[in-house]
Structure 1
Amino acid sequence: MSITRESVQQLLNSQDYGERLRGINQLRQLEPAVAFELVQPLIKDPNTRVRYAAVSLMDVVGTQDLAVSLDILRDRLSDPEPDVQAAAADALGALKLTEAYDDLQQLYQDTPEWLVKVSIIATLGELGEPRSFELLLSALSSENSLIQTMAISALGELGNASAVPLLIPYADHSDWQMRHRVAQALIRLGGTEARSTLETLANDPVAQVAQEAQEGLN
């Protein structure tokens, strides 16, 4: 059976949330403009999984109308479910909607949910908003190692070379995955200080870290 606008619409209108989820998945096979139109009512679906799937689709179809997408995703940052908030943050970053930076910053400061905090920090590098530098520095000193790791990567993506001396101390971290992220970030940021630390990391006892640093030096 071929997937058409009508067949997907029927699934999206179903009382069965499983059918609505199927419909959202099938939206990926329709024209983006059609998918963007049809997904919008599901953004506020009573079922959490359906809302999550609908919001997650926005990073693919949201380019159809960035102004509308901005309003939709800003609203979902206040969704009662952390998973949906995190998906909204991810989509805002993917769409590079820098107008939402203040909303993301406020949510990061207010939420007790580590998952939401991680998603916000992870998306800030992709978002590319220079004002996020201070927030990322704050996240770098978080007690949550996953938030720290995401902050290291985001600082590398953001491209502000002022981060280099602040990242260098983490090149000695006991967690090799954090050292690996430091190597990736320093390669992106460049400069004499970064190169010196990469030369040290090129001799790291963990092969993945050493290889990353060596490739960055070439």
Structure 2
Amino acid sequence: MENVGVDPAAIQELITSEDVGDRLRGINQLRSLDPQDAFRLIQPLSQDENSRVRYAAVSQIASLGHTNLNQAHDLLRDRLLHDSETDVRAAAADAMAALQVPFALEDLETAYHSTNDWLLQFSIIAALGALGNPAAVGLLTEALKSPQELVKLAAIGSLGELKQPESIEYLRPFVAYPDWQVRHRLAIALGQIGTPEVRPLLEQLATDSAAAVAEAARASLAHLAP
């Protein structure tokens, strides 16, 4: 049910205005409407000529798309693969993950391989953990070889979120990785996987020269089954 005091006609006027600021305000006010109505109204804005408007619309589809998951996926897929702006494409990847679209993995993998923009690759790899599809392990282990540190970091984090034991062998070499932030994320990820096979790796990390790494490893060890 629409909130008291909300004027759908006024919102409609804002989102169809020629003024970019009006359209952005209208997108924000769509949150006050029934999700089905808001989703219907926001769809054309995902194709807006202004990239800020497209970004705002795509970002909000993450919370509205559950009203029609198939249609939301089609909209997000189009922006992920075809938008001219990296931040809009990244927002589409995030929205797919937020909606837990089970058939999004192929699109995310296509987008990852079709770009050299490491920021977009980072967003895709980070989204795969939230997506929750165990089939993403293959792409994530590939991303561990990225020359970009942040992409590696995101891949380790997403592998932890997916909790698949087969990831352990791919993560093992990072116990001795030079960047302590990578080792720190590894300690958390191994704890998330939580199988007995991670114990010796965590025990090694628990003696790490970086205090934050050692502390994270000890915390992960404390939550392992005896």
Confirm or deny a common fold (TM above 0.5).
yes
Query: Are the aligned partners of 1:74 and 1:103 in contact in 2 as well (CA < 8 Å)?
Result: yes
Once the two structures are overlaid, the 10-residue window that deviates more, 39-48 or 97-106, is 97-106
1:46 and 2:49 are equivalent in the alignment = yes
Once the two structures are overlaid, the 10-residue window that deviates more, 199-208 or 58-67, is 199-208
Letter in 2 for 1:188: Q
Gaps of 5+ in 1: none
Structure 2 counterpart of 1:131:
135
| CA distance in structure 2 between the partners assigned to 1:160 and 1:199 by the alignment | 20
Query: Are the aligned partners of 2:163 and 2:194 in contact in 1 as well (CA < 8 Å)?
Result: no
Query: Are the aligned partners of 1:98 and 1:129 in contact in 2 as well (CA < 8 Å)?
Result: yes
Structure 2 counterpart of 1:72:
75
Q: What is the Cα deviation at residue 202 of structure 1?
A: 2.5
Structure 1 counterpart of 2:113:
109
Q: 1:29 to 1:213 in 2, by over 3 A?
A: farther
Normalising by structure 2, what TM-score?
0.90
Once the two structures are overlaid, the 10-residue window that deviates more, 175-184 or 28-37, is 28-37
Instruction: Decide which of 146, 152, 156 is 2:150's aligned counterpart.
Output: 146
Gaps of 5+ in 2: none
Q: What is the Cα deviation at residue 3 of structure 1?
A: 4.0
**What is the CA RMSD across the aligned residues, in angstroms?**
1.7
Normalising by structure 1, what TM-score?
0.93
| CA distance in structure 1 between the partners assigned to 2:96 and 2:217 by the alignment | 31
SS in 2 for 1:28: helix
Q: What is the Cα deviation at residue 160 of structure 1?
A: 1.3
| CA distance in structure 1 between the partners assigned to 2:61 and 2:23 by the alignment | 16
- Identity, % of aligned pairs? 48
Q: What is the Cα deviation at residue 197 of structure 1?
A: 1.7
Instruction: Decide which of 99, 102, 108 is 1:95's aligned counterpart.
Output: 99
Q: What is the Cα deviation at residue 82 of structure 1?
A: 1.5
Query: Are the aligned partners of 1:164 and 1:186 in contact in 2 as well (CA < 8 Å)?
Result: yes
| CA distance in structure 2 between the partners assigned to 1:26 and 1:177 by the alignment | 39
Structure 1 counterpart of 2:37:
34
The number of residues matched between the two structures is 218
| CA distance in structure 2 between the partners assigned to 1:89 and 1:168 by the alignment | 28
Q: What is the Cα deviation at residue 217 of structure 1?
A: 1.6
1:82 and 2:110 are equivalent in the alignment = no
Q: What is the Cα deviation at residue 210 of structure 1?
A: 2.6
1:189 and 2:179 are equivalent in the alignment = no
| CA distance in structure 1 between the partners assigned to 2:93 and 2:62 by the alignment | 10
Q: What is the Cα deviation at residue 171 of structure 1?
A: 2.1
